[in-house]
Amino acid sequence: MQLKNIKTVGIVGAGTMGLGIAQVCALAGYTTLIFDARQEAVAAAMRKIEENLDKGIEKKKLTRKQKDKALSRLEPVVHIKGMKADLIIEAVVERLDVKHQIFEFLEKNNGPETILATNTSSIPITRIAASLKHPERVVGMHFFNPAHIMKLVEIIAGAETSDKVVKLSKAFAEKLGKTAILAKDAPGFIVNRVARHYYVESLLLAEENTADFAAIDDLLESSGFKMGPFRLMDLIGVDTNFSVTTSMYDAFWQAPKFRPSRLQQLKVDAGHLGRKSGRGFYTYEEDKD
């Protein structure tokens, strides 16, 4: 397959990351299928994408014509059986068993040329592809939140990923207007490996009552970071961030420097998941659906 042969892109998972990736693909001219096990999530994603596009128009980054064309390319899929595409990007929870189940079905449901990509933040690609008959077609395409704004995409090859698939995935990401970098298949890859301690150490400071969330955020923002760790975790999703930290902690054989925070665990247990739930480390009643 060549880049020009990619016409249809499938997105499995209509959460924050999935909808952002779908928006970018549709704007780039691709017919974009969106599926989620929860149909209400797909409907919510479509509304959020339209809202994002309207904001783009307000900021004069998009035209109404571009918005209308992008929306016309988005196709909600009711059942995963309808997920047939030239390139499929999985963007679901960071659980290896769930990803195995999805990829095993996608492999059977699509032709041999279909590229199967994962947006995993931390799970090695080799482990995700291990249960498949053709692991050479599996690649990591790690977008960053918010995917419709952030330019970086990590392209990660598993032990069996073919060079052709890696090159094609990188070219595809660049066609989306992204900056694509190649990363080795290690837990957390590059960005999450480096950034994990931005969260972990900040949470430790809060656990020890060294300072409150706002003070830590303000301090780091005044030091040059665009967004403090607690505001950023609320944007990403407290549960998503906690899941990635837990995954990396396990992948590094419980190395203390990656230890998940009890404070963050309490937030997840309480359902305080950040902006998407209306409350996280801060309160966002206006953002709650």
Give yes or no for residue 287 having a pLDDT over 80.
Answer: no
The reported pTM is 0.90
The label of the residue with tokens 């480096």 reads 194
170 and 56 in one domain?
Answer: yes
Query: What confidence score (pLDDT) does residue 1 get?
Result: 86
Helix, strand, coil shares, percent, the chain, to 5: 50, 15, 35
The parent domain of residue 144 ranges over: 3-183
133 and 204 in one domain?
Answer: no
Condensed to tens digits (0 to 9), the pLDDT of residues 123-181 reads: 999 999 999 999 999 999 999 988 999 999 999 999 999 999 999 999 999 999 999 99
Mean per-residue pLDDT, 87-99: 95
Q: Which residues are catalytic?
A: 142
230 and 200 in one domain?
Answer: yes
The total number of structural domains that make up the chain: 2
CB 183 within 8 A of CB 144: no
Mean per-residue pLDDT, 44-63: 96
19 and 96 in one domain?
Answer: yes
Sheet of strand 8-12: strand arrangement: 74-77, 31-35, 8-12, 87-90, 115-118, 138-143, 152-157, 179-183
Q: Which residues contact 216 (CB under 8 A, 6 or more apart)?
A: 202, 205, 206, 228, 229, 230
Structural domain ending residue among the three candidates 141, 162, 183: 183
Q: Hey, which bits of 3-79 come out as E strands?
A: 8-12, 31-35, 74-77
131 and 17 in one domain?
Answer: yes
Residues 57-72 as b or e (16 or more Cβ within 10 Å = b): eeeeebeeeebeebee
Please tell me what DSSP assigns to residue 112: T
